């Protein structure tokens, strides 16, 4: 699924091409599958409408899960923070592309 540094992931039935560093493809696929699961659960509850709002709620829930795991020290905390920022950026890019497709 990876070509030219990108990985295709499916979230809520839509395919997204995401830039991915070499060797991180499986981790990205796992992250996307986890996000898809969380977003599908939120959508299924029927309490939140709109893909953007569902994505925000999923991001908040995932952030809460990470914080509930307790404080981490030093390098582990920095590495997790960096990964969360990268994933957040990828989600922002995917939502931006989704909005462009919706408008177009």
Output the pTM of the full model.
Answer: 0.64
- Write out the two tokens for 28: 């990205």
Q: Which residue ranges make up each domain of the chain?
A: 2-103
CATH topology of domain 2-103: Double Stranded RNA Binding Domain (3.30.160)
Question: pLDDT by residue for the chain (104 residues), tens digit each?
Answer: 444 688 999 999 999 999 998 899 999 999 999 999 999 999 999 888 888 889 989 999 888 888 887 665 556 666 777 777 787 778 777 777 766 665 55
Beta carbons within 10 angstroms of residue 7's beta carbon: 20
């Amino acid at each position: 699924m990876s070509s030219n540094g990108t990985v295709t992931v499916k979230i809520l039935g839509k395919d997204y091409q995401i830039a991915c560093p070499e060797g991180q493809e499986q981790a990205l696929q796992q992250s996307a599958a986890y996000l898809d699961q969380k977003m599908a659960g939120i959508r299924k509850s029927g309490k939140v409408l709109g893909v953007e709002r569902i994505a925000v709620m999923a991001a908040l829930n995932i952030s809460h899960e990470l914080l509930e795991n307790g404080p981490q020290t030093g390098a582990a905390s920095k590495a997790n923070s960096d990964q969360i920022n990268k994933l957040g950026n990828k989600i922002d890019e995917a939502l931006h592309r989704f909005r462009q497709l919706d408008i177009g």
